[in-house]
Amino acid sequence: MKPTAFEYVRAGSLDEVLTVLEERGDEAKVLAGGQSLIPTMNMRFAAPEVLIDISGVTELRGIEVRDDVLRIGAMCRHVEVLNAPEVAEHAPLIAMAMPNIAHAAIRNRGTFGGSLCHADPAAELPACVLALDARLNIDGKSGPRSISARDFFLGTYMTCLADDEVLISVDVPKVMSENVTFFDEVARRRGDYAMAGLASQATVRSGFITDVRLAFFAVGEVAVRAPHAEQALQGILLQDMDADAICSAIADDISPFDDLTTSGAAKLTMMQVLTRRAVESFAKQGAHA
C-alpha cells in the first residue's frame, strides 16, 4: 500500500502551478489536501509522475464576502469552511453539509476545491454547489474562465477541467432572506460515505414556493438535480405541497443503480424519505419567513 515514486513540486505561486501543468500535462496531478488523491495513489489506482503541491499558493486561499457572492478559495480546508462565520451566514447549505464530510482528521486536511475536483459521486459538496447554482473559477495557460456548477461535473471522478487547468475559487450566491434550505444524508455512521443524500434550496415568496433545486448525491455517476420533482413543487402554496406527488416524480428523474453496499431500490426509497424531510422543513421554514 505505498504509492509509486513521483516527483514533488511545492508551488510558490499560481503562475508556477500553471507553468508545471502546461509542461507536464496529464503526467501531473494537483495536490491540495490529498485526502482522496493519496489513498488513490496508495492503492495504485493512480500513479501520477509529478505532484504539484498547491498548499502554499496564497491566491487559492481565503473566504471573501463580495457583493452578491461568497467566494471560497479552492485551497480552503474543510475545517476552515466549517468554522467560518461568513459561510454560516451567507451559505447555510454548505455550513449544514460540512459536518457530514468525512471525519475531523480528514476535514483538517481536505479542501473545498479538492472535493469538487475529485468529483466523487457520493461527496456532499458537488451536490451543494449544484443546488446553489455556484460558479467555479478556473485558470489555465489559455486564460481564466468561469463555469456553472451544472456544467462542471461530467461523471464519476470526471470534471471539465483540462489537463493544464486548476480550480481557483468558487462563487456561491449569497443566501436571501426568502430562501429555505435543507441538507441531509443517509449514512451508516457519521463520516461514512452517504448511501443517498440531498442538498436543496428554494425560495418562498408570499407563501408560494419557487426556484426549487433538489440536488441528490450518492445515487448515480455524479450529483444530479431532479427536474420533475422540482417542477412538482414549483409555484405551489407551502400548505399545498404534496409530498407523495413529489416523491413519485423523483422516480421519473433518477434511477439509482446498485453500489457495493446499497441496492438502487433502497437508494430510491432513501431519496424519497429525504425529499419528504425537505418538504416538511421547507414548510416549517417558510411559515416563519
Partner 1 sequence: MTGPLAITITINGEPATRAVEPRLSLADFLRAEGFTGTHVGCEHGVCGACTIRVDGRTARGCLTLAVQCDGLEVETIEGATGNGCVADLQDAFIENNALQCGFCTPGMLLTADELLQENVSPTRTEIREHLSGNYCRCTGYQAIVDAVEQVARQRAERT
**From 4, 58, 142, 148, residue interacting with partner 1 (rule: CB under 8 A):** 4
Stretch that binds partner 1, among 47-55, 90-98, 159-167, 225-233 (CB under 8 A): 47-55
Q: How far is the CB of 10 from partner 1 (least distance, A)?
A: 7
Using the minimum distance from each CB to partner 1, give the nearer residue, 35 or 201. Answer: 35
The answer to whether 111 touches 32, Cβ cutoff 8 Å, is: yes
* Residue 11, C-alpha cell as written in the block: 508551488
Stretch that binds partner 1, among 60-68, 187-195, 224-232, 245-253 (CB under 8 A): 187-195
The answer to whether 43 touches 66, Cβ cutoff 8 Å, is: no
Q: How far is the CB of 260 from partner 1 (least distance, A)?
A: 14
Nearest-angstrom CA–CA distance, 200 and 181: 6
Dihedral angle sign, alpha carbons of residues 261, 266, 268, 271: negative
Residue 65 is a binding residue for partner 1 (CB under 8 A): no
**From 14, 19, 27, 55, residue interacting with partner 1 (rule: CB under 8 A):** 55
Residue 145 is a binding residue for partner 1 (CB under 8 A): no
Q: Checking DSSP bridges between strand 28-31 and strand 50-53, what pairing results, if any?
A: parallel
Residue 286 is a binding residue for partner 1 (CB under 8 A): no
**From 12, 13, 26, 39, residue interacting with partner 1 (rule: CB under 8 A):** 39
Q: What Å distances lie between residue 209 and 40, 107, 125, 281, 289, CA to CA?
A: 42, 34, 24, 13, 12
| Stretch 100-129 residues interacting with partner 1 (CB under 8 A) | 102-106, 108-109
Residue 88 is a binding residue for partner 1 (CB under 8 A): no
Q: How far is the CB of 27 from partner 1 (least distance, A)?
A: 11
The answer to whether 267 touches 281, Cβ cutoff 8 Å, is: no
- State the amino acid at position 68 in one-letter form: D
Residue 260 is a binding residue for partner 1 (CB under 8 A): no
Dihedral angle sign, alpha carbons of residues 205, 127, 229, 190: negative
**CA torsion 24→165→156→224, rounded to 10°?**
180
Using the minimum distance from each CB to partner 1, give the nearer residue, 4 or 255. Answer: 4
What is the largest distance, in Å, between two alpha-carbon atoms of the chain? 61
Nearest-angstrom CA–CA distance, 67 and 51: 35
Stretch that binds partner 1, among 137-145, 185-193, 210-218, 221-229 (CB under 8 A): 185-193
Q: Which residues sit at the interface with partner 1, rule CB under 8 A?
A: 1-8, 10, 31, 34-35, 38-39, 42-43, 51, 53, 55, 79, 102-106, 108-109, 189-192
